Chain A
Amino acid sequence: MARTIIPFGPQHPVLPEPLHMKLVVEDEIVLEAIPALGYVHRGLEKLAEIRDYHQMIQVVERVCGICSMIHSLCYCQGIEEMMKIEVPERAKYLRTIWSELHRMHSHLLWLGLFADAFGFESLFMQFWRIRERIMDLNEATTGSRVIVSVNVVGGVRQDLTPEQCSWILTELAQAEKELKTIQATILNDYTVCKRTKGVGVLTKEQAYDLGAAGPTLRGSGIAQDMRQLKYAAFDKIDFEPVVENDGDSFCRSKVRFREVLQSIDLVRAAIAGLPQGDLAAPCKGNPEGELITRVEQPRGECLYYMKGNGTKYLDRVRIRTPTFANIPPLIAMMPGIELADVPVVILSIDPCISCTER
């Protein structure tokens, strides 16, 4: 049978962002996928030359809408390490709470989109209804739904009152209850299993060799999570990375579903151990030196390289986002799957194209 090349994207109904793939197909079976990136390059890293290091916090938050809090957390940690600022304990716990809330709403958004990709509209709405609770928590505690702008160099800007803490706990208990009711559907339903089980398999060796990150890596059976590096308050809060062994799309969605429940537990632990104290340490001087910081985003490991020269402008900010690491594994998943499964497999790595291209 003759080979055909089918373009997937840049605009495709299942992906809100422009990702282009040339699919080499033979009889509806994909033989090879060739990615093309660079449709939404914005040059945010270049802005470090004309925005000072305080203003860059707001810029790096806009690298990605969904994990904005964790981007600024990573950036602030790097600057604090360069300037040797000791962050107050309370600020570390608050950063943990908000970053876990972000992880939850990102995963719930993805679970909804994933259900939508294989045509399960009802499940999509269920997940998004739960997500709305988390968004309300963000809005009420920080002042904004998605891009929360709570991090400053040295700590955080907002505080949580005891009433807000107890409200967060009740909302999370309700969200957990609702998640449990649809757990059977996402994990055991015939429709879901038929579309996802055994589709886009990434073996443990492939995941390790190609440098996969986040749920893609943990779905293939490697227990690696950047939160094990003990940043923010994760040195005080114990947790085990969520691991699944089969490496298919189903396992990746299962990892994400279980991580939502894990994040609920982490927020509870952080609220239970929330110490009293200052919100931010004073910040004087300018950053000097170069370093790399890493944090765990909903999609995986995020890496920041920063170089300061002693002035208020940084020499260089380089961001490597998890989706960039996950594109070689995605290409490895493609050969052998059916054309109809391509959207499911692409969505299963949770692609964030604006992240990748900054």
Chain B
Amino acid sequence: MLKMTPTVLKNLFSKSSTRMYPFEIREPFPLYRGELFNDIDNCIFCKKCEIKCPSQCITVTKDKESGTGTWTCDPFACVYCGICVDVCPTQSLRMEPNHRKPSASRDMIEMVGKIKMPKKKKAAPKKAE
């Protein structure tokens, strides 16, 4: 036990290694994958995130009649790997370095946005006969 005594004494007189968590919160690291957000205005509902997601927590549906698309994410199934952010072609998905707040009910993130209609191609000029 004597070999531990200097370490114990040093710990006794130095400042605490832990922090009083709910009152004192450490700054998150900028790269930390904490929470998934979708910027629905940029989303083109291409379903790439739905296809690549390993936990299959994202569902994308398009309704052509009303011209709207729905992007749904089940945050309780999400594993926060960040694959969807990597593959998103319009960079509308992003991850914020904060923990998701605890919740008592199973809430789905559901976002509704407008489908961007593909630009009509100009009719190819008729070949001269």
Contact = CB atoms under 8 A, between A and B. Distances in A.
Contacts of A189: 1, 3-4
A328 B80 CA distance: 37
Q: Is the interface of B mostly helix, strand, loop or mixed?
A: loop
Contacts of B8: 122
B32 A143 contact: yes
A143 B3 contact: no
Given A140-B29, A157-B86, A190-B1, A181 B55 contact: no
| A interface, size bucket | 20 to 34
B90 to A, nearest CB: 19
Contact of B54 (A51, A122, A132, A143): A51
B104 interface: no
Contact of B4 (A55, A62, A132, A185): A185
A158 B85 CA distance: 13
A157 B83 CA distance: 10
Contact of B7 (A142, A147, A181): A181
A188 interface: yes
B4 A123 contact: yes
A58 B53 CA distance: 10
Centre residue among A56, A122, A136 by max chain B CB count within 10 A: A122
Interface in B52-80: 52-55, 79-80
Contacts of A136: 29
Contact of B80 (A56, A144, A182): A144
Contacts of B52: 54-55
Given A122-B8, A144-B80, A59 B31 contact: no
B1 A140 contact: no
A141 interface: yes
Contacts of B29: 136, 139-140, 143
A22 interface: no
Nearest to A187: B3
Nearest to B4: A185
A139 B80 CA distance: 13
Nearest to B1: A191
Nearest to A61: B81
B113 interface: no
Nearest to A144: B33
A129 interface: yes
A206 interface: no
Interface in A168-195: 181-182, 184-185, 188-191
Nearest to A58: B54
Interface in B1-20: 1, 3-4, 6-8, 17
A143 B82 contact: yes
B74 to A, nearest CB: 16
Interface of B: 1, 3-4, 6-8, 17, 29, 31-33, 52-55, 79-83, 86, 95
Given A55-B52, A182-B7, 12 more contacts: A54-B52, A56-B54, A58-B79, A58-B83, A129-B17, A136-B29, A139-B31, A143-B33, A143-B95, A147-B81, A157-B82, A188-B3
Q: Which 6 A-B pairs have the closest CB atoms?
A: A58-B54, A55-B54, A140-B29, A149-B81, A143-B33, A143-B31
14 contacts: A54-B52, A56-B54, A58-B54, A62-B79, A122-B8, A142-B31, A143-B82, A144-B33, A147-B81, A158-B31, A182-B4, A182-B7, A184-B3, A191-B1
